[in-house]
Amino acid sequence: MKTVSKPVMSRARKFAIGVLAILPVVGIGTSLHASAEVDSYEAVSPSIEQARANILISRQLQFTHFREQTIDENLAEEVFNDYLDYLDGQRVYLTEKDIESFQPLKEQMAASLRTGQLQPGFDIYNRVQKRIVERMDYALGLLEDGVDSFDFQTDDQILLDRSEASWEPDQAALDELWNRRIRNAVLGQRLNGSSDDEILKVLTRRYESQRKRISQMRSEDAFQAYMNAFAGTWDPHTNYFSPRNSENFNINMSLSLEGIGAVLQSDNEYTKVVRLVPGGPAARQGQLGPADRIVSVKQEDEDQPVNVIGWRLDEVVDLIRGPRGSTVTLEVVPANASDETVTRTIAIKRDEVKLEEQSASSEVIELDRGDETYRIGVIDIPTFYADFQAMQQGDPDYKSTTRDVRKLLEDLKEEQNVDGLVVDLRNNGGGALHEANDLVGLFIDQGPTVQIRSSDNQVQVLADQDPSVAWDGPMVVLVNRMSASASEIFAGAIQDYGRGLVVGSQTFGKGTVQAVRSLNHGQLKITQSKFYRVSGGSTQHRGVIPDIEIPSRIDTTRIGEDALERALPWDQIDSVPHARYFDFSGVIDQLRQRHSDRFAETPEFGLLQKEIDFLKEQRKTTTVSLNEDQRRDYQDQLESRQLTIANARRELRGDEPFDSFQAMEDHQEQQAAAANGEDEELDFIVREGGHIMADMLELDRRLATILPAGTVAAKAE
């Protein structure tokens, strides 16, 4: 079976291990702290097996990747820069002098990558690890006098994101930078209510832990980091897996492990949440979200959490995994946090992700519109799934997306007597490709559904061969930025066929297919083909543009294919002949106007827009003050605005307002499990999808049964 790969959601490149770095923090002092308990970092060296793997990776990338490029000096410079970004993405360990000393290594890099000479990459890696040890020693030295020795009455500020900053010129400048970083960490925890004694313990434990991690680095860590910087210059979905990470990747693909149901990736200093598995423990618990960054992990039988900043991804995954029924507590920096010192604690009970909890489901909503009441069927599809094992065993009742949706449609038509259909694909990250193809077939008599172009320019067309139709009435497909891969194939086909309207926000744009190839040492996941709609345009990079747009809280600068460096571009091939069931051009302007007028009078939309504006303002903040009074004022303003929005939403529902920000947070934690990951935005957007459906029927009654009405086979424009 071919499976649509899941998307990556980050501006940072996705790698197979954790970046060796630390949480932004800072203080005062000049002495280096020598830890007697931790050995100094010992340089690592490449092995013969790694050198052979490097040669195989070079050949695979040059001759089988979808993007054609050669390993020359220009590409080597990209590898060099990406490697430094990976090892010191916030530019807090290396100085300008270090970078200058790497120039001879950069000049050797092109030839070295072609021939398996790994020493340039290892030399850079070893230097960075030694610099990290020096910074840890410096940070621990600053903490020796206690956090009350820091001055929080200055007008100093700190840059939140240093990924584009200049390298500091020397060690003295780095000392000053770290002074600010530690003050920022102390101040952030003070504002979270921690005492100075607690802060001192937490930060000391953090830096000692990270220093210890550096002393345990292995040759494989350097090789993974270097090969991923190399592979990532082709595209962000091409990755190298070490032998251990290959095992983890294969286990994850078989869904045989119990855990929290979250896909993770490395993002500079942190392990970041990519997406939640539908129906999994984290999705059901409701507090963890995409782009949240994990700071620490605590087991239920342990008193203290383990700080995981700077840990390898595989080791963080091992900590989070555990027996079914046990609880793991994550400390995370929320995606919408004002800065990295703002964290929240989330307790999740581990469980296995069950297929039935990912299954499609339906409901019927009634909309009173003047003299008429419309019954709208809503089908929610969390993922494109199939029970492959049952299918291979010949079970006639095996579960799959298409089979389940067909049954739901039969019920909606025969028992519920609905007037229209809304298919909800929001937050659906994809899944089985053949299920996307078959699902399109439930809504058309037959025809092509998607084109797949390989690296040798051969085009394969998947098609629905079944002339039967499960639903021939009008439909709306809801999408958002988290709709990816198979979701985009389905939504794009419905749009191209004129079978329904796509409503929501621009989708993720994951339109590539990866294959995993074994090496002598580990595996290479490599991009080998791209998806194209039947109209010829790729879903890659651009995704699906809705016919009617609804704004979203999701930060598109951080989540989405077009937010990834070196993502393959959008392009176009020839369209394939396909039917066009309805031309919406005659009514789309009126539909958009009705939607706009309705939203202008919808209180929920007004609150959503206020929240979006608030989040955009926060994202524009590039620095924060290290003055305690100013910082408290800033935090009070943020909390006040969030509380105002939350209380306005409660007022709409007839609930008592919260009397404080803390009361709001306590309530959200208590309600997280019951909420099952849903929120008010989802409910009112589903209703709006129903209203758009009703508008369609009112404006053109031909939509009531559009399929049999003069289907014309033609090429899409």
Catalytic residues: 485, 496, 510
Please, are residues 645 and 614 in contact by the beta-carbon 8 Å criterion?
A: yes
Burial class (CB in 10 A: 0-12, 13-18, 19+), 368: exposed
Can you give 651-681 as a three-state secondary structure string?
HHCCCCCCCCHHHHHHHHHHHHHHHCCCCHH
Tell which residue, 567, 451, 432, 573, has the closest CA to residue 510.
567
Give the CA diameter of the chain: 82
Q: Which residues contact 714 (CB under 8 A, 6 or more apart)?
A: 577, 578, 579, 580
C-alpha span between 631 and 150 (Å, rounded)? 15
Listed in order, strand segments (DSSP E) in 256-360 are: 262-267, 270-276, 293-299, 306-307, 327-333, 344-349
Q: How are beta strands 361-369 and 578-580 bridged, if at all?
A: unpaired
Strand partners, 375: 366
CA distances from 508 to 214, 308, 555, 557, 685 (A): 36, 29, 11, 11, 19
Amino acid symbol at 269: E
C-alpha span between 78 and 84 (Å, rounded)? 10
Tell which residue, 195, 193, 197, 165, has the closest CA to residue 181.
165
Q: Tokens standing for 542?
A: 């651009």
Burial class (CB in 10 A: 0-12, 13-18, 19+), 660: exposed
**Residue in the structure block whose two tokens are 């320019």:** 457
Strand partners, 298: 329
Residues 559/560/566/568 CA torsion (nearest 10 deg)? 170
Please, are residues 482 and 537 in contact by the beta-carbon 8 Å criterion?
A: no
**Residue in the structure block whose two tokens are 């030694």:** 130
Tell which residue, 252, 259, 291, has the closest CA to residue 272.
291
Listed in order, strand segments (DSSP E) in 115-233 are: 157-159
C-alpha span between 422 and 424 (Å, rounded)? 6
